[in-house]
Amino acid sequence: MNQLVAAPVPRLPRVNRYLEFGAGLTVLALAVALVGLAYSPYAPSKVDLLHRLAAPSPAHLLGTDRFGRDVLSRVLAGGWRSITLGFGATALGLAIGLPVALATGFHRGRLDQIVMRFVDALLSIPTLVFALLVIVGLGPGLVQAVLALGIAASPKFVRIVRSAVLDAASHDYVTAARARGESGLYIQYGEILPSVWAPIIVEGSINVGFALVGGAALSYLGLGTQPPHADWGVMINEAQKYISVSFWPLLGPALAICASVIGFNLLGEGLRDRLHVQRSFRDD
Amino acid sequence: MTDPLIAIENLTVSFAVGGVLHPAVKDLSLTLHASEVVGLVGESGSGKSTALLAVMSYLPGNAVVEAGRVLHGGVDLLRASRETLDDVRGRRIAMIYQDPTTALNPAMTVGAQIAEVLARHLSMEGARARERTHELLRLVQLDDPPRVAAAHPHQLSGGMQQRVMIAMALAGEPDVLLMDEPTTALDVIVQARVLDLVRTLHRQIRSAIVFVSHNLAAVAQLADRIGVLYAGELMELGPAAQVLEEPSHPYTRGLIAAVPRIGARRLPQGIPGTASRDPQRFTHCVFADRCAFTADICRSSRPALLAPSSGGHLSRCHFAAEPSRIGAVPGERATRAAHDRTAEASPLLEVSRLSVEYRRGAGFLGLGRAHAVRAVRDVSFRLPRRRVLAVVGESGSGKSTLARALLRLTPAAQGRIVFDGADVRAFDAGHLRAYRRRAQIVFQNPTSSLNPHKTVADIVARPLVLEGVPREDRRSRVLATLRAVGLTEAYLDRHPAQLSGGEKQRVALARAFVTEPLLVVLDEPTTALDVSVQATILELLLEQKERTGCAYLLISHDLAVVRQVADEVLVMRDGEVCEIGPAERIFGSPSHPYTRELLAAVPDLEPPAARNSV
Amino acid sequence: MGAAFLARRVLYGLISLLILSAIIFACTHLLPGDAAVTILGEGATPDALAALRTRLGLDRPFALQYLDWLAGIPRGAFGTSTTLNQPAGPIIAERFGHSLALALITIVVAGALAIPLGVTAASRRGSRLDVSILTASYLGISIPDFVVAPILIILLASPPLALLPSSGYEPLAKSFAGWLAHIVLPVVVLAFLLIAHLLRQTRSGMLEVLSSDYIRTARLKGLRERVVLWRHGVRNGLSTTVAVLALDIGYLMGSIVIVEEIFAYPGLGRLMVYAVANRDIPLVQGTALVIGAVYVVANLLADLAQAALNPRMARP
């Protein structure tokens, strides 16, 4: 009830377009990663000093970098690392955050207060900085980066999931469950969790994108994927040094990262609208 | 007859949801003349709120006006420009609606919000505006206007906020006041006072009023003419006394029969079924599938609004001209059998001196001072089997807290609860589990009490799973219980979102009954339901009680409902018991002044002119 | 809003900082990896390692090490940088100043652009303008700063259009123009992301406000839309905007790390990257704590501002 004189029917397809577009880009990103695991036009580390920093051509669709290596091949080959960073960090963050959020949101009380104070303090450290803290201890590397980003993402998930848990727990069906003597674990996982999936899926999708960027940032800083391996973040770092000479080596990984992030964001937002639409049709 | 102030002509408004148009109001025609009060009555889905908002031309973005006009001063408001509307709203037509706590801007003082209207429409500013604001606040019976004007909304009670809304509506000196359920969100006694205020103001100011409500009794207190809406269509329209005493439409008749009366012990009669929301329902009479008097013509063609006799009484029924066919308002239904005293020998539930406290302000990390608020103080009562004990009170009386404490959902601070001879507060985990199978609770809001992700079968079977009933037996018991609450096997695989409010509450009841409990706590079980559905639920509850011999603790603020089903009544205020005793005595000759106040506040169905003192 | 409320919020803030310091300390000390080995290398002799450990205080109980570190903080002593062999405090302080300048300018620029745009988009929901603003903000949050920065560098800091330096820093004292020139690009990159976040949050906050009942009341009183929007809408939306700004400080601090590194801007972020790469524990701890503290203080200020703006709290 927030608008004025009757307007023509709004175009609902706008929402689905987000979802479709996002899903499409996401699938593309995943395809690139999967394909790259097995195949690339050239070996990613194949050096060709005669064709360095070349512009795109039929032979090299995305050009070559400063060592004459085919950019497309490197994008394909390094893709799985960047995608793994995104998914791995998100999965880990959820694996830690979800049980904590369910337990504290359901039980409330003193423990909840202490944990949330803790979480609030953690949230005051930006994700990247937190990841850096963890890397200091673990050292650089792909696996370490996944761990670091995963742990860094968990407080945010605790916050988000907990507010969904609190919302679900305020419904009478949770009180009804307590009234018939259900165990705490059943209520958390059997009654509350189904209501909480929606925000998890939405925030999870969006987070994959951001974790991917975070991972690329770590790699850019030299703290993620280590040489001689490469992922999109490393490629950007390498490309930056020669940017005044040629920006083509930058384009490939930049496009890959942007497309993936936009894809996951749109997917998440599209899902958010979709999942809500299905929920609130019948309100007596 | 003078020209009408507002003329709604053949209004049809629909809402676009997911690409489909759902009609909310169909072919509504209504006129409003100076100084008259028109009451519009309808249940959920009747379209009454949409109709009112259409008059203000304030419809949401997905609303489509398929046909019709709203004429005011020669202008069709539905097609007027925003500038024109800005001059009409607040100045010629003003609106008051349901929840005053959210309707006022929390960041502005109440006085400033009223003064805005004065500045905008009457060019009143400064000292003159301040004076007038105070006058208006006095007019709505608020003491100490300067203090109220300087307050922010959250510093005022609900009743005071609603009076402010009324003052704000009157500030522009409109000819027409639109009221959408203005008292529904308020406590019973406050409701009565606000209704009184509206009546007084109408006598003084003589503006025309359209009063919309689901509460027929409240409308009966004020209206000169009454219109009855159902599923988007106007079913009946006529002078208030005629519509209430000699309704010509079966739905109106059914509605009147469904309203619980506080004056007499007469079990209300529900209307079976639920209102159709099918967008194609207007090819025939929309009420046909629930009407007790349908004929073939009702299912094949849509009736027009006919006048059975002169006097401006219209009815949308193929048989409007034959009132005798439909019969008189149902007479007294058999009242319930007198008490069987022998059942009182050993009460099922005995509560002595129960107190429940809340801690407010837990401090930081659980430290820091918290002060205890006594939500329930020193409550004692006994509940024998097959009896209904009603706990009545307004919000904040502690009745819900009491209910939860009995089931140990909230810890009690002091007192004893004895169930079937055992001390409930001393139960260990095992005994507590067993207790929870024999004592169940049903909540007010059926949408909130059913998990939207589970099917009806899951929901109703779950208590049996907890009890350890084997799978083969579960299904038959679930089916039997569903049948007992009037639902068929077809409902097993449905999700709550696919059910109506009444159906959801039946599922909640089935869930409570499936373990054959001895005690069922009912926390406002019918409050969230339409009145035509309420009665069927009440019938169901009584049947179940007779069959299984369980006892009910009924929590309610609705005294009329309590009158129909309670054996004993406990009146609570601020956590304490004001009065307790057999229902006849409490309703017939209440001794506590608060009880008397509560009873006097309940609006009854007779229009004020015909009303005897209760 | 009483002194009690103020005191309680400050106390909460201090406790958060305390917890923060413990977490930071734990991260850097409990995770596997021996600082001594990292500094001296794998081939160092056991004696040299032991000596270094004693010098760094690594052989003492964990709790004591923590308390030692904590005790020094109020005096600004963050220990000694193991790689630079100087007290960490002054280094951190100087770099903090540079980062603060960057952050404040970014916030002002971003706020001035994002908030009005967000309010406008919300007031015209669904319109072409709204959709284009939304789309632009989507791109803003999706394109990482280490992609935006090189693009800007190509455009503005490389031949043929070398308008601005692509890296480095010049103290304000030396030359205003120089200082400004070095700060422009980092601010633009940071603002890019911040505007996108702030805009979306302002928009959704305003949308929520605009769908409240009191907005309906205001319109039904016949007030002009402009009045409804600003006097009733924005006034209430303001407190959410304030809360959101504090949150965005967090985003900002994270971005600052990357942006300073790209532009070789001598701030806290760049210092942290250096410290992490070289396992300079005292520097890592110090910078992380200061970064976290900025967020805690920003939140505290936001809470106080919200309380002042919210009549429910100001006048119970």
Is B462 part of the contact surface with chain A (CB cutoff 8 Å)? Answer: yes
Closest CB to C150: pick one of A136, A250, A262: A250
> Is the Cβ–Cβ distance between B106 and C214 less than 8 Å?
yes
CA distance B558 to B69: 39
Name the most confidently modeled range: B82-96, C51-65, C196-210. Answer: B82-96
Q: What is the pLDDT of residue B337?
A: 47
Give how far C12 is from chain B: nearest CA, Å: 8
Give how far B449 is from chain A: nearest CA, Å: 4
Q: What is the pLDDT of residue B356?
A: 92
Q: What is the pLDDT of residues B588-601, one digit of tens each?
A: 899 999 999 999 99
Q: What are the residues facing A182 on neighbouring strands?
A: none
Is A154 part of the contact surface with chain C (CB cutoff 8 Å)? Answer: no
Q: What is the pLDDT of residue A282?
A: 27
Supply the mean pLDDT for chain B.
88
Binned at pLDDT 50, 70 and 90, residue A243 comes out as confident
Q: Cβ contact (<8 Å) for A244 and C138?
A: no
Q: What are the residues facing B22 on neighbouring strands?
A: B15
Over range B312-334, report the average pLDDT. 71
Size of chain A in residues: 284
Give how far B430 is from chain C: nearest CA, Å: 41
Is C232 part of the contact surface with chain B (CB cutoff 8 Å)? Answer: yes
User: Above 90 in pLDDT, residue C168?
Assistant: no
Size of chain C in residues: 316
Q: What are the residues facing B442 on neighbouring strands?
A: B522
Q: Cβ contact (<8 Å) for C220 and B106?
A: no
User: Above 70 in pLDDT, residue B258?
Assistant: yes
Higher pLDDT, B167 or B347: B167
User: Above 80 in pLDDT, residue B325?
Assistant: no
Q: At what angle do helices A248-279 and C145-156 cross, to 10 degrees?
A: 140
**Percent of chain B, pLDDT > 90?**
56
Residue-by-residue DSSP string for B548-573:
H--EEEEEES-HHHHHHH-SEEEEEE
Q: Which helix (H) or strand (E) holds B300?
A: helix B296-300
**What does DSSP say about strands B519-523 and B551-556: parallel, antiparallel, or unpaired?**
parallel
Binned at pLDDT 50, 70 and 90, residue B27 comes out as very high
3-state secondary structure of C101: helix
In this complex, the chains that touch A, judged by 3 or more CB pairs closer than 8 A, are B, C
Q: Cβ contact (<8 Å) for B78 and A12?
A: no
Over range B507-526, report the average pLDDT. 94
Q: What is the pLDDT of residues A31-74, one digit of tens each?
A: 888 888 777 777 777 787 777 787 788 777 788 888 878 888 88
Q: Cβ contact (<8 Å) for A258 and C299?
A: no
Q: What are the residues facing B371 on neighbouring strands?
A: B360
Q: What is the pLDDT of residue A271?
A: 82
Over the range B90-108, which residues count as b (16 or more CB within 10 Å of their CB) and which as e? bbbbbbbbbbbbbbbbbbb
In this complex, the chains that touch C, judged by 3 or more CB pairs closer than 8 A, are A, B
Q: What is the pLDDT of residues B342-352, one digit of tens each?
A: 445 578 999 99
Residues of B numbered 348-407 whose beta carbons fall under 8 angstroms of chain A's beta carbons: which are they?
362, 364-366, 407
Contacts of A117 in chain C (CB under 8 A): 15-16, 19
Residues near B475 by Cβ (< 8 Å), separated by ≥ 6? B461
A vs C: CB pairs below 8 A: 144
Q: What is the pLDDT of residue B118?
A: 95
Binned at pLDDT 50, 70 and 90, residue C150 comes out as confident
What's the pTM value of the predicted model, to 2 decimals?
Answer: 0.84
Residues of A numbered 252-281 whose beta carbons fall under 8 angstroms of chain C's beta carbons: which are they?
254, 257-258, 261-262, 265-266
**Percent of chain A, pLDDT > 70?**
91
Give the full edge-to-edge strand order of the sheet including B6-17: B20-32, B6-17, B63-72, B75-76
CA distance B273 to C45: 89
3-state secondary structure of B443: coil
Is C207 part of the contact surface with chain B (CB cutoff 8 Å)? Answer: no
Q: What is the pLDDT of residue C37?
A: 66
ipTM over 0.90: no
What sections of chain C are H helices per DSSP?
A: 3-30, 35-40, 46-56, 62-72, 88-123, 128-142, 145-156, 176-210, 213-220, 225-227, 235-262, 268-277, 281-309, 311-314
Binned at pLDDT 50, 70 and 90, residue B504 comes out as very high
Contacts of B58 in chain C (CB under 8 A): 216, 219-220
Q: What is the pLDDT of residue B610?
A: 44
Closest CB to A129: pick one of C28, C31, C253: C253
Name the most confidently modeled range: B258-262, B603-607, C83-87, C236-240. Answer: B258-262
Which of these ranges, A11-20, B416-425, C256-265, has the smallest mean pLDDT?
Answer: A11-20
Closest CB to A133: pick one of C139, C143, C288: C288
Question: Using H for helix, E for strand and C for coil, what is the string for chain A?
Answer: CCCCCCCCCCCCHHHHHHHHHHHHHHHHHHHHHHHHHHCCCCCCCCCCHHHCCCCCCCCCCCCECCCCCEHHHHHHHHHHHHHHHHHHHHHHHHHHHHHHHHHHHHHCHHHHHHHHHHHHHHHCCCHHHHHHHHHHHHCCCHHHHHHHHHHHHHHHHHHHHHHHHHHHHCCHHHHHHHHCCCCHHHHHHHHHHHHHHHHHHHHHHHHHHHHHHHHHHHHHCCCCCCCCCCCHHHHHHHHHHCCCCCCHHHHHHHHHHHHHHHHHHHHHHHHHHHHHHHHCCCCC
B vs C: CB pairs below 8 A: 79
Q: What is the pLDDT of residues B72-113, one digit of tens each?
A: 998 999 999 999 999 999 999 999 988 888 999 988 999 999
Q: What is the pLDDT of residue B370?
A: 61
Q: Which helix (H) or strand (E) holds B22?
A: strand B20-32
Closest CB to A217: pick one of C141, C258, C276: C258
Q: What is the pLDDT of residue B346?
A: 73
> Is the Cβ–Cβ distance between B141 and B113 less than 8 Å?
no
Over range C206-229, report the average pLDDT. 91
Domains plus CATH for chain C? Answer: 88-314 (1.10.3720.10)
Which of these ranges, B342-346, B554-558, C138-142, has the smallest mean pLDDT?
Answer: B342-346
Binned at pLDDT 50, 70 and 90, residue C154 comes out as confident
User: Above 80 in pLDDT, residue B336?
Assistant: no
Q: Cβ contact (<8 Å) for C23 and A136?
A: no
Amino acid at B436: R
What sections of B23-88 are H helices per DSSP?
A: 48-55, 82-88
> Is the Cβ–Cβ distance between B424 and B417 less than 8 Å?
yes
Supply the mean pLDDT for chain A.
82
Q: Which helix (H) or strand (E) holds B197?
A: helix B188-205
Contacts of A176 in chain B (CB under 8 A): 441, 443, 449, 508, 511
Higher pLDDT, B98 or C175: B98
Higher pLDDT, B372 or C36: B372
Closest CB to B90: pick one of C216, C222, C231: C222
Burial class (CB in 10 A: 0-12, 13-18, 19+), A63: buried
Closest CB to C146: pick one of A132, A220, A261: A220
Binned at pLDDT 50, 70 and 90, residue A4 comes out as very low
Q: What is the pLDDT of residues C238-283, one digit of tens each?
A: 877 887 787 788 778 888 999 998 888 999 999 999 998 888 888 8
Q: Cβ contact (<8 Å) for C277 and A137?
A: no
Q: What is the pLDDT of residue A2?
A: 30
Angle at B563 between CA B561 and CA B569, to 5 degrees: 110
3-state secondary structure of B21: strand
CA distance B181 to B594: 25
> Tokens 């083509």 — which residue?
A248
Q: What is the pLDDT of residues C69-79, one digit of tens each?
A: 888 777 777 77
Q: What is the pLDDT of residue C243?
A: 79
Of B443, B453, B546, B547, nearest to B496 by C-alpha is B453
Which of these ranges, A134-148, B224-238, B364-378, has the smallest mean pLDDT?
Answer: B364-378
Closest CB to A138: pick one of C32, C219, C291: C32
Is A49 part of the contact surface with chain B (CB cutoff 8 Å)? Answer: no
